């Protein structure tokens, strides 16, 4: 139970940070025409927020689908916690690589979005699909 709570807190704190970035720009942001660093970063933050919401849905579905196997649910939760730590450290390194440029925020956000989409796909493949022709629990995640 503590593991699930830790995973939820990590996802929630990340989502709250991204939400603050997105909300700072208002509703009139047109990402197809974003040209300033601030607007581009806001659009990237929106993409990350969408990817994280999708990942949270797939993670919740995986846990719900396997709820009778407490050991598996704990393992999924542990792997999610470890993955979140990896994503943070890895994308912080990407940020550091670009630290001298205004592109650093976009590069770090893009890193997190790409890894989040990959993780969602991994969750789907590992826990929400079947080896036979049975339909998956959720459709293949969009990229």
Residue 66 counted as domain residue? yes
Residue 142 counted as domain residue? no
In contact, 46 and 34? CB cutoff 8 Å: no
Task: Return the closest-CA partner of residue 116 out of 48, 19, 14, 16.
Answer: 48
20: domain CATH number is 1.20.1270
Question: How many structural domains does the chain have?
Answer: 1
Residue 78 counted as domain residue? yes
Residue 13 is part of which domain span? 2-127
pLDDT digits 0-9 by tens, 2-48 = 455 545 555 545 544 444 544 444 567 899 999 999 999 999 999 99
Residue 137 counted as domain residue? no
Residue 135 counted as domain residue? no
**Residue partners of 98: CB distance under 8 A and separation at least 6:** 104, 107, 108
Residue 132 counted as domain residue? no
pTM above 0.75, yes or no: yes
Residue 136 counted as domain residue? no
- Helix%, strand%, coil% for the chain, nearest 5: 75, 0, 25
């Amino acid at each position: 139970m503590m593991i699930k709570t830790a995973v939820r807190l990590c996802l929630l704190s990340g989502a709250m940070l991204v939400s603050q970035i997105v909300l700072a720009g208002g509703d009139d942001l047109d990402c197809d025409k974003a040209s300033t660093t601030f607007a581009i970063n806001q659009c990237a933050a929106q993409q990350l927020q969408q990817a994280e919401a999708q990942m949270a849905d797939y993670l919740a579905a995986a846990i719900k689908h396997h709820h009778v196997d407490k050991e598996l649910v704990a393992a999924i939760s542990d792997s999610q916690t470890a993955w979140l730590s990896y994503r943070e450290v890895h994308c912080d390194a990407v940020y550091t690589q670009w630290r001298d440029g205004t592109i650093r925020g976009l590069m770090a956000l893009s890193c997190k979005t790409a890894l989040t989409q990959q993780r969602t796909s991994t969750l789907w493949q590992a826990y929400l699909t079947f080896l036979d022709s049975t339909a998956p629990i959720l459709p293949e995640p969009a990229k």
